[in-house]
Amino acid sequence: MSERKPIPKSVKKVLRSEVGFGCPVKGCGNPYLEYHHFDPPVSVKPHNEPEGMIALCAQHHKKADGGAYTIEQLHALKKDKANAKLVRGNLDWLRKDLLAVVGGNFYYETPRIITIDNIDLVSLVRDEDGYLRLNVNMLSLEPDERIIIEENSWENIGSPLDLRSPPQGKELEISYHNGDYLYLRFIELQSFEQAQQRYETDVFKDITFPITAVEVNMTIAGTRIELTPISSQLGGIKMTGCLSSHCGGGVVIQNSGIQWKQNPVWKRKTLVEETEHPNVVKVNFGRR
């Protein structure tokens, strides 16, 4: 076996960014990336030199291990961001019961978790099979695209500084140049004691364990909206360790006075175009 050390986080970040956060093999774009050593292969020399490594999805990583691509082809692919626009993924954790841990507070059977200016920032919907699916509208003060998660499917990532989506599909982390940030993770909580230890609170006494938790943290740069692992800062309010159970709405903020440039507002504007005729608008029903 090789004596190679674990790949440093900084190297992984460089490799993800080089390929535009999606597997660079033609037509792929899979964001669940692994890291392949090819120049030289680890069997020749254990190394973690980014110049001789490439980010690939699990399927194309196996093919690369099998010798499908030449060294020259891998060097070319490594600089290829052509698949950046294909980058999208799915959160495969389907559960009928979920504890949402959003900005250090707990939401159980509370579908609209955080709503700002009538936009659901974080919410859950139950699909026709009874599974809870996550929606996240990542708002921003920047007029650029931000990731949208709709019923567990995510896309519309825009141009992130980094997107980390490990193949196990438990985590998703995305950050943008202006400081906008989203992190989510699924975790199985086997017992009340485990939950108590992890979150240092016992507010969920009435919840039946085991249960799956989805943790969501988010920062909207330039605002006082920050959902960290320990607290929610929402304008002048700071909340920590509260449980909302069986509530129609968790946190609702109206008339924030913030001029949102993204996401729903930005998307809607591109879907409806005005025409020369005052009573006619052109609506683009296709997905962009």
* Residue 126 to residue 120: CA distance in whole angstroms: 15
- Check residue 60 for interaction with Zn ion (CB under 5 A): yes
**78 lines the binding site for Zn ion (CB under 5 A):** no
165 binds Zn ion (CB under 5 A): no
Query: Which residues contact residue 88 at a Cβ distance below 8 angstroms, ignoring those fewer than 6 apart?
Result: 29, 31, 153, 154, 155, 157
C-alpha 244 chain-centroid distance: 24
With 0-12 / 13-18 / 19 or more C-beta atoms within 10 angstroms meaning exposed / middle / buried, residue 111 is middle
What string marks each residue from 206 to 225 as x (binds Zn ion by CB under 5 A) or -?
A: --------------------
Map the footprint of Zn ion across residues 27-56, applying CB under 5 A.
Answer: 28, 30
Decide whether 44 or 76 has the Cβ nearer to Zn ion: 76
The residue count for binding Zn ion (CB under 5 A) is 6
The rounded distance, in Å, linking the Cα atoms of 169 and 93 is 8
Shortest distance, position 58 Cβ to Zn ion, whole Å: 8
CA nearest to 76, candidates 22, 19, 20, 30:
19
For the CB of residue 60, give the shortest distance to Zn ion in the complex, in Å. Answer: 4
Helices (H), ranges, the chain: 9-18, 58-65, 71-78, 192-199, 264-271
Given the rule CB under 5 A, which of 57-65, 93-101, 116-124, 146-154 is the region that contacts Zn ion? Answer: 57-65
Judged by CB under 5 A, the stretch of 13-21, 23-31, 73-81, 229-237 that binds Zn ion is 23-31
Whole-number minimum distance, CB 3 to Zn ion, in Å? 28
Min separation Cβ 121 and Zn ion, Å = 32
* Contact window for Zn ion (CB under 5 A) among 18-26, 173-181, 236-244, 252-260: 18-26
CB of 57 to Zn ion, least distance (A): 3
Closest-CA residue to 17 (of 139, 175, 144, 152): 175
Which positions touch Zn ion (CB under 5 A)?
Answer: 23, 25, 28, 30, 57, 60
